[in-house]
Structure 1
Amino acid sequence: MSRLAVFFFLACMSLFTPLYGWNKPTHMVTGAIAYRELQTTNPQLASRVVAILRQHPNYQQLWASKLADPSLSEDDRNQYLFMLAARWPDDIRGNAYDHPTWHYINYVYAPEQGIARTDTSLATGENILQAFAMNRQILRSNAPDSAKAIALCWLFHLAGDVHMPLHTTALIDKQFPEGDRGGNLFKIKVLMSSQTINLHSFWDGMLLGADDYQSARNLAVQVRKAVHRDQLPQLGKQDITSWSRESFQLAQDNAYRSNTLSAGTDQEGAVLPADYVATVKPIAQRQVALAGYRLADELSADLAN
């Protein structure tokens, strides 16, 4: 396939297939990490974010009953609110607040053609970089707190999504001439005896499946203990474009293993290499930690005044 053909296929690729980033429990972990970071370093700011989120138009409908759990302390409730906010854009799929193309950007990875580009991407409508910038602008504006609460939810969520490597990548090759849609068409099995799933789904749920408060909070505690800030020199890059490029590189090197990972069919996924899970799980854990820390830093910058 020529380079021209690659970009023709990109232009023709479907615009309407929703791509999920980390699953809902993993987004909750990101929110919990961000809360604990703020509560430790700037509790006044954490309280301010909580106050804004309580003005969310869906607060009573979606969150109030969960937060009323008598077993939760006030600190638990505040942390839980951050967690619920982080998953909200996935909870409202299909309603008026939904923006399917906001969750990702498709940088071009066409290894058979020697193409790996971040200076251009598939035109899918407003992408994750544009959405993040728009919602930051709302948060920094004089908009009412109800609008800022919606913007906060998107910032929470998109900070998580952009750290999921397959949310930045469109693999183009002979098997996927129109792209693999961020691994959604890339069929695999974890074990020979496992059911066929797609690579995107595997990465989505690699770290956690249960979406209850305790499970997500406990994983957040484990991740913060395992991945400290001083282990992450890239934390100094406080812009989402840099984050997306980091994820794109991880997709190439680790998710697709430099184009050595094989894809199967809908009927029979290709079995992952024996060391794949053990190799990529710490990478996923580090990405979730990065997302939580960077989200806390972003909130500190955007709500400093």
Structure 2
Amino acid sequence: MRRSQFITSLCLILFCSTSVFAWNDLGHMTIARIAYDQLTDGERAGVISILRHHPHLHDVILKDRPSQVTASEWIFLRAATWPDHIRPPREQTRAPISSHSIYRYHHPHWHYVNYRIRPGQLDTELPAQPMPQFPKPSNPSEQTNLIDQLDQSYLILRGKAQETSHPEIELTQHEIRAIRMCWLFHLIGDIHQPLHVVAFVDPQLPFLKHGDEGGNKLGIRINHASKPRKLHTVWDDMLGTHSRYQDVVNLSERLSHDPRLSVSRLPEYAQNRLSTEFAEESYQIAVEAIYMNGRLPYTPWSKVESHEVAPESVPAVSPQWISQAHTIAERRVVLAGYRLAARLKYLIAHDPASRESIREYEMPAYRSSYRGRTFR
């Protein structure tokens, strides 16, 4: 999408909403729920038929399922959060992680890609190449990024590529596809979160020589009465910190029924279909709306942690900045949900095994016992 078209369409909805959205568990599950409501019951059955082979199905994905939620719907929603729930604790030593039954599948570098933003930058065109990783990961499976792995997950699910990452390469083909389905869910969400696509770099400041890690090195306050928080965390927690099922349902249905967020009001949905185009949307938002063309006031987070700077001295962003962030995040969540649904529909329609699951689902005996939601 052209920069002027994208920014114009974005500005038409700014300051129209006071709701808060982002990409913690609640955000990722909301994206999955929006996609869930776009699929037919048979398409959902096709997706679940793939996810049911996940090696962590019972230990992680089905864990804490509310009694009122079917196993199939909970699997669908929690697939989007699995890549975050396999992060090892900070105190975990390196050796046990490589052999741990769950943590060994964690790939920290798959969640983001760093496109450089500089102080005073006005240009919002996506750079030709992302920044090189620093330090360079020793594990070849980590010498990659969000865009590469989003595309790779989609290709593996379509049968157009083979798994090459460790330790996934050791699994059965069914298990690989289930894991890659989770990554597809999750990375579609991550690429729509602007701070998963950028790194703010200032060569004049040593701590920003290699970037701010998507806002993780910058401290701000959301108002003058609040405590300092990392810029990245402000965006990740905008939706809230509780991921109760009913909260996910209420939020996803309210967004899905908001006429301002219908497909016809989201021109970028039809215009942009590639992962790099999704990333460019996020990059444009980060440059102009989040970093304010490099003029965002901040305090180095290291100085907040060390108490070198008093909490009340950390700059607070303006109410206009917060309002704009809310509205943008709302739009990004809905776009991610619609785009996830579109990819799932294509995958299931062209997957022989999934088509067989749909045929079994559509048999009268099975249909009569199903209590899932109907397609809207």
Contact in 2 for aligned 1:36/1:79 (Cα 8 Å): no
Deviation at 1:169, TM superposition (A): 0.6
Matches within 5 A, 1:133-212: 133-141=151-159, 144-173=173-202, 174-175=204-205, 176-212=208-244
SS for the counterpart of 1:170 is: strand
Matches within 5 A, 1:1-305: 22-38=23-39, 42-67=40-65, 69-72=66-69, 74=70, 77-94=71-88, 95-112=103-120, 117-124=126-133, 125-141=143-159, 144-173=173-202, 174-175=204-205, 176-226=208-258, 227-236=261-270, 237-265=272-300, 266=304, 267=309, 268=311, 269-305=314-350
The answer for unaligned runs of 5 or more in structure 1 is: 1-20
**Distance in 1 between the 2:44 and 2:59 partners?**
23
The answer for unaligned runs of 5 or more in structure 2 is: 1-21, 89-102, 134-142, 161-171, 351-376
Deviation at 1:43, TM superposition (A): 2.5
Percent of residue pairs bearing the same amino acid type: 33
**Distance in 1 between the 2:298 and 2:123 partners?**
19
- Tell which has more relative contact order, 1 or 2 (C-alpha 8 A, sep 6+): 2
SS for the counterpart of 2:295 is: coil
Contact in 2 for aligned 1:30/1:292 (Cα 8 Å): yes
**Distance in 1 between the 2:58 and 2:210 partners?**
43
Aligned to 1:5: none
Describe the superposition over 1:254-303 as per-residue Cα deviations: whole angstroms up to 9, x where unpaired.
Answer: 11122221112423421111222111101001000000100011112223
**Distance in 2 between the 1:70 and 1:261 partners?**
45
Describe the superposition over 1:224-274 as per-residue Cα deviations: whole angstroms up to 9, x where unpaired.
Answer: 122211111111222111000110000011111222211124234211112
- Letter paired with 1:51: S
Contact in 2 for aligned 1:264/1:270 (Cα 8 Å): yes
**Distance in 2 between the 1:217 and 1:113 partners?**
39
More displaced 10-residue stretch of structure 1: 124-133 or 261-270: 261-270
**Distance in 2 between the 1:208 and 1:83 partners?**
17
**Distance in 2 between the 1:289 and 1:254 partners?**
18
More displaced 10-residue stretch of structure 1: 105-114 or 81-90: 105-114
**Distance in 2 between the 1:46 and 1:91 partners?**
23
The 1:198–1:163 alpha-carbon spacing in structure 2 relative to 1, beyond 3 Å, is: same
**Distance in 2 between the 1:93 and 1:245 partners?**
27
Q: How many residues align?
A: 278
Deviation at 1:112, TM superposition (A): 4.2
- Letter paired with 2:131: L
Aligned to 2:94: none
Contact in 2 for aligned 1:89/1:154 (Cα 8 Å): yes
Deviation at 1:65, TM superposition (A): 4.7
**Distance in 1 between the 2:32 and 2:119 partners?**
35
Aligned to 1:9: none
Bigger radius of gyration among the two: 2
> CA RMSD for the aligned pairs?
1.9
Describe the superposition over 1:182-201 as per-residue Cα deviations: whole angstroms up to 9, x where unpaired.
Answer: 11111100122211111110
- Letter paired with 2:32: G
- Letter paired with 2:53: Q
Contact in 2 for aligned 1:106/1:167 (Cα 8 Å): yes
SS for the counterpart of 2:299 is: coil
**Distance in 1 between the 2:281 and 2:123 partners?**
16
SS for the counterpart of 1:81 is: helix
Deviation at 1:215, TM superposition (A): 1.1
**Distance in 2 between the 1:205 and 1:65 partners?**
22
The 1:221–1:84 alpha-carbon spacing in structure 2 relative to 1, beyond 3 Å, is: same
Deviation at 1:214, TM superposition (A): 1.2
**Distance in 2 between the 1:32 and 1:113 partners?**
36
